Amino acid sequence: MSATGTPVVLGVDLGTTSTKVVAFDAAGRERAAAGAGYALREPAPGHVELDAAEVLAAAVRAARDAAARARAAGCTVAALSFSSAMHSLVGVDGDGRLLTQVITWADTRATEEAEELRPTEHGRALHRATGTPVHPMSPLVKLVHLRRHQPALFAAARRWVQVKDLLVHRWTGTWVTDRSTASATGLLELATGDWSGDALRTAGLSPLQLPPVAAATAVVGTLTAAAARELDLPARTPVVAGGADGPLANLGVGAVVPGTAALSIGTSGALRVAARTPRVDAAGRTFCYSLTDDLWVVGGATTNGGVVLRWLAEELLPDVSEQAAELGDLPEEALLEMAARVPAGAEGLLVLPHLLSERAPQWSALTSGAVVGLQRRHGRAHVVRAALEGVCQQLALVADSVEAAGPAIDEVRATGGFARSAVWRQLLADVLGRPLSFAAGGQEGSSFGAALVGHHALGHLDLLEASRREVRIGEVVEPRAADAAVHARLRPVFASLADALAPAFRALRQVPAAPG
């Protein structure tokens, strides 16, 4: 391995269905990239997990490949830094052996506990103090559920960690978490940056059962000899804590000043605005998570993003997907082309695209999907169009809630897998009724944010200044006025559906699911 060359930091982004590793130099240039995927597992209704061994193996493959490509491009890996999907939970015993798989943000087994706690004054106080809504996604609520339903497992756990903590431990031998990721657990006090006594009592935990909390920019260890061998990197390569993928996406697209929002659609979606002080809106519609020790992000996450398009391709329109594959095209692109042929508003058809329940701004896990307004004139293309409009309308509701919390939104910078599609970019701009800015070079926001954190930790740059300076806008998509007016007129109708259909959703949850 070469000891010289342009120093790069590997931004290791542990996502919901894949790990992406991108090597960035201190000037913000992407020098190499690699990725590896894994599948979400649903072993029982409401249980949405990842196989921890698969995730760790994918991270090794992706990091090793990205490092090799970086060396081939004349670079030297100076450090590794992390981004991770939020709200995961893993139990381990005293020897670090797994007692659970990775329970993901999409898991809704704790719905009953969330619905009991959320409307109470205690639940509202926990939301205000920790910035994390009381919802089944929250590790706090997951822990309450596990203590109630699996007391033997709960008692056997020496430590409760997140998926990124597992990987850092595997590569450095140290149990540690970062303040950004910890702030999305429902267990961290925003005001102090340390574990909350009230939240710990609610979960039934001792603070010793959680990892120590470090700043996102802290060097938390170096690669062990074993990790160095499997990654083909020098032993003692620095490892930087990094942070949660949502806040780091703000950093990665330069949305680190109040008024500039970062919007992303991957498997799920989110919109976030930077704030100088932590805050949660009075109605409890937004979250507040840490980015750095003196910067927070206020926003909301939606559960259903790209997963809706995949569901359409795999379950509703497999014939279209197969035809596209035979022609060498992506199934998702074929569906997007279908949607583009239908006018805005899908001729009066609305789809509530809550395949995996939903989060912001209602934060109720009881909601399900629905097709409303169906008439004889509607065909499959209308359903596709309305489902994608529903994904975008949910994000528009989040934008409205964020502005109600205080930070006005002057600019929206977008990132995520959806950004590769011109159809979806235009649709989102039309539904939001706002221009969307996209970074030049198609930078992956979270992995770039993680790499910036790594370079800051090594003293190569000032974090926030580099984020503002090095993100270059390559394209701005303007909303089409006539289509934006249609979507604005439909938004109150769309917003009313979840509450209006709540009794039906509750009743339908009592219908037994088919075994297997």
- The domain that contains 135 carries what CATH number? 3.30.420.40
240 and 320 together in one domain? no
Residues 292/463, Cβ–Cβ less than 8 Å: yes
Nearest Cα neighbor of 243 from 196, 191, 295, 305 is 295
- Residue 64 included in any domain: yes
Specify the pairing of strand 213-214 against strand 177-178: parallel
The stretch 245-257 carries a mean pLDDT of 90
Residues 93/99, Cβ–Cβ less than 8 Å: yes
At residue 516, the pLDDT reads 57
- Residue 237 included in any domain: yes
Q: What is the CA radius of gyration of the chain?
A: 22
DSSP state, 314?
I
**Which of 244, 270, 291 is where one domain is finished?**
244
At 300, which helix (H) or strand (E)? strand 295-302
Report d(CA 459, CA 221) in Å as an integer. Answer: 16
At 49, which helix (H) or strand (E)? strand 47-50
**Which of 220, 244, 268 is where one domain is finished?**
244
- Residue 502 included in any domain: yes
DSSP state, 342?
S
In the numeric block, which tokens belong to residue 373?
Answer: 């307004």
Residues 148/110, Cβ–Cβ less than 8 Å: no
- Residue 427 included in any domain: no
Give 386's contacts (C-beta < 8 A, 6+ positions apart).
346, 349, 350, 351, 371
197 and 326 together in one domain? no
**Which of 210, 244, 278 is where one domain is finished?**
244
81 and 205 together in one domain? yes
DSSP state, 418?
G
The stretch 294-306 carries a mean pLDDT of 93
At residue 3, the pLDDT reads 55
198 and 315 together in one domain? no
At residue 357, the pLDDT reads 87
Beta bridge partners of 270: 264, 301
Give 416's contacts (C-beta < 8 A, 6+ positions apart).
263, 264, 265, 266, 269, 305, 306, 445
45 and 161 together in one domain? yes
Edge-to-edge strand order for the sheet containing 6-14?
Answer: 30-37, 18-25, 6-14, 75-84, 238-244, 219-222
The stretch 443-460 carries a mean pLDDT of 89
> Which pLDDT band holds residue 2 (cuts at 50, 70, 90)?
very low
Beta bridge partners of 485: none
- Residue 163 included in any domain: yes
Report d(CA 146, CA 144) in Å as an integer. Answer: 6
Give the phi and the psi of residue 219 in degrees, each rounded to 5: -80, 115
- Residue 329 included in any domain: yes
- pLDDT tens per residue, range 359-380: 999 998 889 999 999 999 999 9
At residue 1, the pLDDT reads 40
For 272, the 3-state DSSP assignment is strand
Residues 189/129, Cβ–Cβ less than 8 Å: yes
Lowest-confidence region among 52-66, 142-156, 265-279: 265-279
Structural domain tally of the chain? 2
- Residue 268 included in any domain: no
Peptide bond into 361 cis (omega under 30): yes
513 pLDDT higher than 80: no
DSSP state, 407?
-
At 439, which helix (H) or strand (E)? strand 436-439
The stretch 298-315 carries a mean pLDDT of 94
> Which pLDDT band holds residue 443 (cuts at 50, 70, 90)?
low
Which domain range does residue 128 map to?
Answer: 6-244
Report d(CA 401, CA 284) in Å as an integer. Answer: 9
Which residue in this structure is represented by tokens 């930790």?
457
Give 91's contacts (C-beta < 8 A, 6+ positions apart).
98, 99, 100, 146, 153, 154, 156, 157, 159, 160
181 and 311 together in one domain? no
240 and 310 together in one domain? no
Which residue in this structure is represented by tokens 């950093």?
251
31 and 124 together in one domain? yes
For 183, the 3-state DSSP assignment is coil
45 pLDDT higher than 90: no
- Residue 262 included in any domain: no
The stretch 288-299 carries a mean pLDDT of 93
Give 452's contacts (C-beta < 8 A, 6+ positions apart).
24, 28, 251, 252, 461, 463, 466, 467, 470
Average pLDDT, the chain: 94
Give the phi and the psi of residue 50 in degrees, each rounded to 5: -120, 145
> Which pLDDT band holds residue 279 (cuts at 50, 70, 90)?
confident
50 and 170 together in one domain? yes
At residue 444, the pLDDT reads 60
In the numeric block, which tokens belong to residue 370?
Answer: 């629905």
Give the phi and the psi of residue 263 in degrees, each rounded to 5: -125, 135
206 and 331 together in one domain? no
216 and 323 together in one domain? no
Q: How many residues does the chain have?
A: 516
68 and 155 together in one domain? yes
